[in-house]
Amino acid sequence: MSTKELLKHTRALQQKKFRDQHGLFLVQGRKVVAEVLASPLDVVEVFATEEAARDMALTQAHILPVHDLERIGTFEHGNEVVAVVRKPKEAQPAFPGKGAFVLAVDHVADPGNLGTLLRIADWFGAGQLWCANESVEAWNPKCVQAAMGSLFRIPVVYTDLAATLRRAAEAGVHIYKAEASGASVFTVKLQRPAVLVLGSESHGLSKAVIEGPGTSVAIPAFGRAESLNVAAAAAALCMEMVRQD
Q: What is the chain's pLDDT, residue by residue, as a tens digit (245 residues)?
A: 778 899 999 999 999 999 999 999 999 999 999 999 999 999 999 999 999 999 999 999 999 999 899 899 998 777 899 999 999 999 999 999 999 999 999 989 999 999 999 999 999 999 999 999 999 999 999 999 999 999 999 999 999 999 999 999 999 999 999 999 999 999 999 999 999 999 987 888 999 999 999 999 999 999 999 889 999 999 999 999 999 98
pLDDT tens digits along 72-91? 999 877 789 999 999 999 99
Amino acid letter for position 215: T
Q: Please report, for the chain, the start and end positions of each structural domain, with discontinuous segments joined by +.
A: 3-86, 101-243
Q: For domain 3-86, which architecture applies?
A: 2-Layer Sandwich (3.30)
Whole-number average pLDDT of the chain: 95
CATH of region 101-243, choose from 3.40.1280.10, 2.60.120.10, 3.40.50.20, 3.20.20.80: 3.40.1280.10
State the pTM of this model: 0.94
User: Phi and psi (nearest 5°) for 11?
Assistant: -60, -35
**Per-residue model confidence (pLDDT) at position 200:** 84
Count other C-beta atoms under 10 Å from residue 172's C-beta: 9
Beta bridge partners of 190: none
Q: Do 3-86 and 101-243 share a fold?
A: no
Between CA 150 and CA 154 the distance in angstroms is 6
- Cα R_g (the chain), whole angstroms: 20
